[in-house]
Amino acid sequence: MPNQPKRYRPATELVFVDSFSDDPNAVNDPYHASSVPIYQTATFKQTSASGSGQYDYSRSGNPTRSAVEIHLAKIMNAERAFVVSSGMSALDVITRLVGAGEEIVAGDDLYGGTNRLLTYLSTYMNVKTHNVDTTSVSAVEAKLDPFKTKLVLLETPTNPKIKIADIKSIAEMVKAKCPNALVVVDNTMMSPYLQKTLDLGAHIEYHSGTKYLSGHHDLMAGVIGVCSQEIADRIYHVINATGCGLSPFDSWLLFRGVKTLAVRIEKQQTNAMLVANFLEANGFKVHFPGLASHPQYELHKTLSSGPGAVLSFETGDIAASERIVETTKLWAISVSFGCVNSLISMPCRMSHASIPAEIRLQRDLKEDLIRLCVGIEDPTDLIEDLSNALVFAGYSIKN
């Protein structure tokens, strides 16, 4: 790899902060802190001009960042993990592995910001994206070009229509038909607690760490996990070259959030199941992979150990959807998901407003769609609040 800093470290040499470890790569903490300290420093002193400490400059590496990266690599079953300044920054780093004239195959239901970055790449960088229905392995296969395709980008479940892609079959097919392409999965909706995409055959998994991994909507972060040292080297090179590594304080906050990931998700998805059942029992078309009515209900169970806690539903009436969203009290009107607080939104007005209306129409992204991101509150309160809003919008509701 050209232009590596002299302190570039492969995964085997990653350092971590643990004063009781006899591992030579552990950072010595003389105070035996039981929470990883925040190394709020840009630079690290050297013993001589050429003497190498474990770190020299926080853009290239920082002990607090390393600590969370090592932990995340373990829970993703990744060869190595990296943390960067946002989910979009994670995707930006990954797409820099694609050159001008090369191509990406991606879904036709994608987070609005992802669609915006892919559109930017095609407009300014001559990197074309084919958007296909990733619920169909053959639709993905049809757009592969063994010479041009460099990334196959899957979101599963998709945001906001909650469609499921068969990661395992797609990864096997891509490896056979297009060995130069990398299979990349945006695993934000599931988190590594529910879905381990690298075990399913993906080369790269990434996250908006702003969501479940941190869990409290108090930071922006992106996470990238990779399956091999070779990909790790390329990703690290881009992160150091572009300077998007996560700050020490946000690395610390992210690490703190990850510690409660399992308990938060268990509670959130139990609540989400109750909310999804309530809406379906009241006649709404609900998109949630925990419901037997979901078209990929069986497939999702083979990929993930739970349905997660994001669902969307249709009312068929934009004005009614607006009334519902604007009437709930416990469900805050907000973008994002994965937080301990429950949120309600209209994707076409909010998270997906950057996708031009005609493209939303082409992709059958319904303007009346309401997305619910279920938190850890008492589910009786959540359902009562939603029920009141539905009644206010003119629906007759049985609880």
Ligand X SMILES: N[C@@H](CCSC[C@H](N)C(=O)O)C(=O)O
Ligand Y SMILES: Cc1ncc(COP(=O)(O)O)c(C=O)c1O
Closest CA to 104 of 133, 140, 69, 68: 140
Q: Shortest distance, CB of residue 112 to ligand X, whole angstroms?
A: 6
- Candidates 6, 31, 5, 9; CA nearest to 20 is 31
Could you tell me the smallest distance in angstroms from the CB atom of residue 248 to ligand X?
Answer: 24
Q: Which partner in ligand X, ligand Y, none is near 354 (CB below 5 to 8 A by kind)? A: ligand X
Judge whether 168 and 137 are in contact, CB under 8 Å: no
Q: Between residues 111 and 255, which has the closer beta carbon with respect to ligand X?
A: 111
Tell me, what DSSP letter sits at residue 210? T
* Catalytic residue list contains 360: no
Give me the residues that bind ligand X (CB under 6 A), please. Answer: 111, 113, 159, 335-336, 351, 354
Question: SS3 helix, strand, coil % of the chain, rounded to 5?
Answer: 35, 15, 50
What string of DSSP letters covers 314-377?
A: E-S-HHHHHHHHHH-SSSEE-S---SSS-EEE-TTTTTTTTS-HHHHHHTT--TT-EEEE--SS
| Closest distance of CB 354 from ligand X, Å | 5
- The active-site residue out of 80, 163, 211, 264 is 211
Residue 59 among the catalytic residues: yes
Question: Which DSSP letter does residue 181 get?
Answer: P
By Cβ distance, which residue is nearest to ligand Y?
87
The answer to whether the beta carbons of residues 261 and 193 sit under 8 Å apart is yes
Toward ligand X, which CB reaches closer, 55 or 313? 313
Q: Which of the residues 111, 193, 206, 236 is marked catalytic?
A: 111
Decide if 395 is catalytic: no
Q: Which does 156 bind (CB under 5 to 8 A by kind): ligand Y, ligand X, none?
A: none
Distance of closest approach, residue 54 Cβ to ligand Y, in angstroms: 29
- Name the catalytic one among 9, 59, 128, 323: 59
Q: For tokens 């998805």, what's the residue? A: 269
List of residues contacting ligand Y (CB under 6 A): 86-88, 111, 113-114, 155, 159, 186, 188, 208, 210, 220, 222
Q: Residue 174: what are its φ and ψ, rounded to 5°?
A: -65, -40
Q: How far is the CB of 186 from ligand Y (least distance, A)?
A: 5
220, interface contact from ligand Y, ligand X, none, CB < 5-8 Å by kind: ligand Y
Catalytic residue numbers read 59, 111, 186, 211
